[in-house]
Structure 1
């Protein structure tokens, strides 16, 4: 009987302990929930306005970039394609060096060597059709090079000479672009103009709204850079290799622009 009394008391103690634990956890959950509702409640609401500013400057280009491609097709072996491409590339490089183009201003932009196949047509009267036969035609190699010409007045002459340097139409000349080599200072100038433009717009907007500008809370710059003049395929009406004379190529001016977005706190 004494043992059953002890067992009964232990059961009651365990029950009360469980009840207290449930009450404690419930109270803690409610407290946490109420706390979440008030997070940030003491943070004042900040009113803002956002404006966009633009700036641009113009400058005469001081360098030209041109591209050319050495092409070899239907070589019997990969080595034959590479040897022929190397021969023509060396002729082009010799021509560039003779025209005072520094080696650091010559760089490869693409090199592609792959086999060429033709697929023979067949007349198919049954299903499934038999696979068409692929006939190996040889290897093709395309080596594209970009050149920076610092003596900008000689760009047209160099472009014309490159098309003839390799002979046999193995060099095709691509686009000619006029750029500003170091545009950092001009970009900073355009950015300052864009920021001033944004400030003026913000002041005018604040006046119209009857509020006061307090401080900048966010700033972003996007877009921008220089817009360059580009002349596509050299020679009128076709391949660069057909050009018989060197045309006059006006460089014009390049536009360097900046666009900014500024957010102000207002009161």
Structure 2
């Protein structure tokens, strides 16, 4: 696991005391203290890079028939085989979820004539979660061999991002503290205390990547589909308000 510390969103706010208006109501003691304080309003972020331990992929079956019943029956038969192949490849039933089911009429269009119904098209898609990435390529191959003819995309993620997020938080805090010290020194001050700290951002799963290229490159031949998870970047953004004194 590699941890990166970077500073972002350079922001510096120096607030000095000002005389209140004659008729203005006197501020509360806490507010008055902050009003007279010199502060630094800064932001920073921390990143950590980790290997994914989970993948999500959507695949399915599209069939056609002269009638709606014929299209759906053919689809059900092939989809049953696809799901069975997934289970045989080691994918648990709880990690297989139907994500799309459609039945649409198909028409032929001719100039100056009303559309002519020529049949129906049925599609059924499932989204699967793979917790052992070594099984992913074999699972894809198994579904294609069983009749799947649609593969829409793959995304990689983390089952539990807590450790990666905490590492990014530590990196973000170190970057923020270093920036506060730098600005305080550059302006002839020293950091007195941290007044407030807020967090934004966090783990975001990588968007699905199309698998059309992969299918085209190998044509789903005998070799197992190569799937590389690469690395995920987990980022935490923070901002802090520091009081500084001379």
TM-score class normalised by the smaller sequence? 0.7 to 0.9
Whole-angstrom CA distance in 2 between matches of 1:213 and 1:229: 46
1:243 to 205, 220, 224: 220
1:264 counterpart residue number: 242
Question: Shift in Å at residue 225 of structure 1?
Answer: 2.9
2:9 counterpart residue number: none
Whole-angstrom CA distance in 1 between matches of 2:202 and 2:164: 15
CA contact (8 A) 1:112 1:143 kept: yes
Deviations 1:41-90 (A, max 9, x none): 5652254322222211222222232220211234412x333322221111
2:212 aligned counterpart, secondary structure: coil
2:167 counterpart residue number: 189
Deviates more, 1:250-259 or 1:50-59: 250-259
Deviations 1:6-38 (A, max 9, x none): xxxxxxxxxxxxxxxxxxxxxxxxxxxxxxx63
Structure 1 residues 53 and 119 mapped into 2: Cα distance closer, same or farther (>3 Å)?
same
2:81 counterpart residue number: 91
Does structure 1 residue 38 correspond to structure 2 residue 24? yes
Question: Shift in Å at residue 93 of structure 1?
Answer: 0.9
Question: Shift in Å at residue 115 of structure 1?
Answer: 2.3
Which of the pair is proportionally richer in helix? 1
Structure 1 residues 140 and 231 mapped into 2: Cα distance closer, same or farther (>3 Å)?
closer
2:216 aligned counterpart, secondary structure: coil
Whole-angstrom CA distance in 2 between matches of 1:179 and 1:217: 32
Question: Shift in Å at residue 186 of structure 1?
Answer: 1.1
Larger Rg: 1
Whole-angstrom CA distance in 2 between matches of 1:92 and 1:207: 65
Match runs of 1:50-89 below 5 Å: 50-77=41-68, 79-89=69-79
Whole-angstrom CA distance in 1 between matches of 2:65 and 2:208: 36
Does structure 1 residue 233 correspond to structure 2 residue 217? no
Q: How many residues align?
A: 216
Question: Shift in Å at residue 192 of structure 1?
Answer: 2.1
Whole-angstrom CA distance in 1 between matches of 2:82 and 2:208: 25
Whole-angstrom CA distance in 2 between matches of 1:65 and 1:209: 51
RMSD of aligned alpha carbons: 2.7
Deviations 1:182-226 (A, max 9, x none): 212211221221122112111211221223343333513126535
Structure 1 residues 263 and 227 mapped into 2: Cα distance closer, same or farther (>3 Å)?
farther
Whole-angstrom CA distance in 2 between matches of 1:120 and 1:99: 47
1:141 counterpart residue number: 122
TM-score for both structures, normalised by structure 1: 0.69
Whole-angstrom CA distance in 1 between matches of 2:138 and 2:213: 11
TM-score for both structures, normalised by structure 2: 0.75
